[in-house]
Structure 1
């Protein structure tokens, strides 16, 4: 799916001002509300926009310890182990990977002891051969997509200038465009 200059401007606005109403977004972009809604619907349908909920902080939820746990799996049991990982609430992401291991999980824990308990739970899953844990010390680059959106816009022949979109005032109770 090609993302054009208008899509890039829409995505930039949604990232920078996720609580702005669709009406206000359309006004700031200089397009009709129906056009904006149709573009957002297409971006969602094509999988470019994958969610609109808030981003939460595991640390603020009482889980400040972040670790990456590599999981080695018995051949032929990857799907089964992946399903079992989905049942562990402290696993906030899991990916099939190449290299040293079969799965990479991102784990949030209350403290080091709790992390050890989570790792022990992972080891007890049928099909898990071994794990290797790496603890995060400090976040150096927070999760972000705006630089990527701007890069895609430039390669599409667009200049995604965030300054071109004026900051929108937040309106209480307004329908929101959603976080991206």
Structure 2
């Protein structure tokens, strides 16, 4: 999907003020509410707007540890390992990667004992050959997309 300046402007407003509502976005953009609604729907259907769900902080309900676990997998086992990992609630994200390891997982745990138990659960999954873990100390830059949207908008004006 190719985004035009109106799409980018709408995305910036959505990211800056996600609770403002379509009427407010239309007022800010100087266009009809129906235009905003159709653009919003098109952005959703295309996948440009990935989710409307709130972002929930696991730390708020006791998950004080955020860890990254690299998994080395046996050849041909990626799909079965991912299916099993999807059953573990504390695995909050997983990506296939290049370099060392085949899969990079983000886990949350309440304490180091729970993290150790989770890593043991992962290593027991058929197809996982080895794990390497790192505990995040602090999050310095949270997941964000607003700078990307702003940068794309800026580049389009050149």
Question: Residue 106 of structure 1: CA displacement?
Answer: 0.5
- Contact kept? 1:3, 1:156, Cα under 8 Å: no
Which structure is higher in RCO with an 8 Å CA cutoff and minimum separation 6?
1
Equivalent pair of 1:81/1:127 in contact (CA under 8 Å): yes
The alpha carbon displacement at 1:103 in A equals 0.3
Partner of 2:115: 115
Q: Please report the RMSD computed on the Cα atoms of aligned residues, expressed in angstroms.
A: 1.0
| Off by >4 Å, runs of 4+ in structure 1 | none
Question: What is the Cα deviation at residue 18 of structure 1?
Answer: 0.6
- The match for 2:37 is 37
What pairs with 1:73-112 in structure 2 (closer than 5 Å)?
Answer: 73-112=73-112
Q: Output aligned runs, 1:28-177, within 5 Å.
A: 28-157=28-157
- TM-score by length of structure 2 reads 0.97
Which whole-Å CA distance do the structure 2 matches of 1:102 and 1:38 have between them? 40
Residue 14 (structure 2) pairs with residue 14 (structure 1): yes
**Unpaired runs of at least 5, structure 2:** none
- Output one character per residue of 1:57-88: Cα deviation in whole Å (capped at 9) or x when no partner: 01002101000000111000000001111000
Match of 1:4 in 2: 4
TM-score, reference length from structure 1: 0.85
> Per-residue CA shift, 1:74-127, capped at 9, x if unaligned?
000000001111000000000011110010000010011100010000011000
Greater share of helix: 2
What is the aligned residue count?
A: 158
What SS is found at the alignment partner of 2:60?
coil
